[in-house]
Amino acid sequence: MASTCKYGTLTSGLIRSLTEIVGEKFILTGEGRENYARDEAPHSISHLPEVVVKPAGAKEIADILLLANRHKIPVTPRGAGTGISGGAVPDLGGISLSLERMKKILEIDEDNFCATAEAGVSLNEFCSEVEKHGLYYPLYPGEMNSSLGGNVATNAGGMRAVKYGVTRNFVLGLEAVLASGEIIRSGGKYIKSSTGYNLTQLLIGSEGTLAIITEVTVKLIIPPGSRELLLVPFRTLSEAIGCVPAILKENILPVGIEFMEQDIFQMVEEQSNKRIPLQGYPAYLLIMLESEGIEEFHTQAECLTSVCLKNGAVDVFVPDSQRAKRNLLDIREKFYPTIQRSGMLDIADVVVPRSQIALFVEKVKEISQRFGIKVVAYGHAGDGNIHLHPIGSQKEYPRSKDLMVALYKAGISLGGTISGEHGLGKDKKKYLPLAASPEKLALMSRIKVAFDPNRILNPGKVID
């Protein structure tokens, strides 16, 4: 059991009350609950919720929480279930609170460059609606089916963080329901505020442990003129990663810089009909650029080509059609599912200062050799966030746990921390004491209890 709190029993009387709140069509107590028992985390152990409720809005959520709080029933919020830390898994049974019906885009405010939507809307739907208004929401975590609320709850990052930052850099305001059933609003359609504690920022990344996010206001920007890619092969991974600081010193800010090794490309080729251009090199950088037009792009490409070639690149490939660009992005988006099918034992998304990436990756290789377990590494070289996957057979699984500790310790020793964007959920919660002092952990516990004295919200996640 993940928590020492004593929880109540979900009686048939309580189920009847929940049914009255959401309506019979929107509650599951039998078949169908298995779809809410896990997320996309590798080796995530399924836990069936006793009941799944699908409220239509904040008021219904408030009524559900009022009831759950009174009877001490665990509540696990759920967006699209694409999380990879076991955050939406209802470990203690209880209520899985799905936001799947709350998908309305409430306003796209062209004058204030912002949009407000219900938390259950998918990032895909949200971005296409925003684009219809000639505006742009640049967040691009690899999984566009994730929900806006899930992105806020995990502080999702993705492949455009070098230029734009992560979800917290775009959220202006939130509506949220507290464990007590009270509905609060924090922030709004304004850019500045020095008005008390910033609860918006506290709720971002809280992984459903402090409140249920029901509505999100984010800032929007003018869309870029064009998006281009450069694929740059290197003879060694350390040359590829070592080139990143040189790129960032130029007066061109790429949207993202991803690094990858040959083995992951080979895995994608074996498992799909995708073919990688410029095959056969040990390591690559994929540089994503935005420009106002083709002339600006040529200037950027010329400058970065020269920087890369001076820093060990063998060649530079510029896909010249939308199809070729989409092919490269598709390949990148396939990394996670491909590794998942290749015996993924775990996943880490350690973040280190950018200047330490090369050293960190060297340490990863050393640890991988020491444990005799292959570790596939790729990720956001431009922002220091490295995805690491030990792969192997089931018999290596217990040993891979010690390897994970070694990887986290290595990242922390270089000034980094445990998770750059996936969150701790239940799977990485145990590593938090490696990165946070007892004083900091105690303060986090006090914040949790201030928001949720009965610890009904997502128990067993982030912190006990």
Ligand X SMILES: Cc1cc2nc3c(=O)[nH]c(=O)nc-3n(C[C@H](O)[C@H](O)[C@H](O)COP(=O)(O)OP(=O)(O)OC[C@H]3O[C@@H](n4cnc5c(N)ncnc54)[C@H](O)[C@@H]3O)c2cc1C
Stretch that binds ligand X, among 138-146, 241-249, 286-294, 437-445 (CB under 6 A): 138-146
Minimum gap (Å) between residue 303 Cβ and ligand X? 27
Task: Kindly tell me which of 167 and 291 has the beta carbon lying closer to ligand X.
Answer: 167
Does the footprint of ligand X cover residue 460 (CB under 6 A)? no
- Asked if 428 contacts 419 with a C-beta cutoff of 8 angstroms, the reply is yes
At a CB cut-off of 8 Å and minimum separation 6, what does 48 contact? 33, 34, 36, 37, 90, 93
- For residue 30, what are its two tokens? 């039998």
Minimum gap (Å) between residue 94 Cβ and ligand X? 12
Minimum gap (Å) between residue 102 Cβ and ligand X? 8
Does the footprint of ligand X cover residue 418 (CB under 6 A)? no
Site for ligand X in 158-187 (CB under 6 A): 158
Q: Which of 7, 336, 378, 431 binds ligand X (CB under 6 A)?
A: 336
Q: For residue 5, which phi and psi values (nearest 5 degrees)?
A: -65, 150
Minimum gap (Å) between residue 300 Cβ and ligand X? 24
Task: Kindly tell me which of 158 and 233 has the beta carbon lying closer to ligand X.
Answer: 158
Site for ligand X in 50-109 (CB under 6 A): 76-84, 87-88, 99
Task: Kindly tell me which of 354 and 380 has the beta carbon lying closer to ligand X.
Answer: 380
Minimum gap (Å) between residue 369 Cβ and ligand X? 28
Task: Kindly tell me which of 312 and 337 has the beta carbon lying closer to ligand X.
Answer: 337
Does the footprint of ligand X cover residue 150 (CB under 6 A)? yes
Does the footprint of ligand X cover residue 44 (CB under 6 A)? no
Judged by CB under 6 A, the number of residues near ligand X is: 39
Q: Say how far residue 138 (Cα) sits from the centre of its chain.
A: 14
Stretch that binds ligand X, among 189-197, 256-264, 272-280, 419-427 (CB under 6 A): 419-427
Does the footprint of ligand X cover residue 213 (CB under 6 A)? yes
Q: Which of 49, 55, 94, 157 binds ligand X (CB under 6 A)?
A: 157
CA nearest to 159, candidates 239, 259, 250: 259
Task: Kindly tell me which of 87 and 94 has the beta carbon lying closer to ligand X.
Answer: 87
Stretch that binds ligand X, among 147-155, 227-235, 255-263, 393-401 (CB under 6 A): 147-155
Q: Which residues of 63-97 are buried (b: 16+ CB within 10 A; e: fewer)?
A: bbbbbbbebebbbbbbbbbbbbbbbbbbbbbbbbb
Using CA atoms, how far apart are residues 329 and 227, in angstroms rounded to an integer?
12
Task: Kindly tell me which of 233 and 425 has the beta carbon lying closer to ligand X.
Answer: 425
Residue closest to ligand X, measured at CB: 150
Q: Which of 63, 91, 143, 215 binds ligand X (CB under 6 A)?
A: 143
- For residue 300, what are its two tokens? 């950027």
Task: Kindly tell me which of 167 and 368 has the beta carbon lying closer to ligand X.
Answer: 167
Task: Kindly tell me which of 151 and 368 has the beta carbon lying closer to ligand X.
Answer: 151
Task: Kindly tell me which of 161 and 316 has the beta carbon lying closer to ligand X.
Answer: 161
Minimum gap (Å) between residue 125 Cβ and ligand X? 12
Task: Kindly tell me which of 156 and 418 has the beta carbon lying closer to ligand X.
Answer: 156
Q: Which of 69, 300, 368, 458 binds ligand X (CB under 6 A)?
A: 458
Does the footprint of ligand X cover residue 154 (CB under 6 A)? yes
Note the residues at the interface with ligand X (CB under 6 A): 39-40, 76-84, 87-88, 99, 119, 141-143, 146-147, 149-151, 153-154, 156-158, 207-208, 212-213, 336-337, 421-422, 425, 458, 461
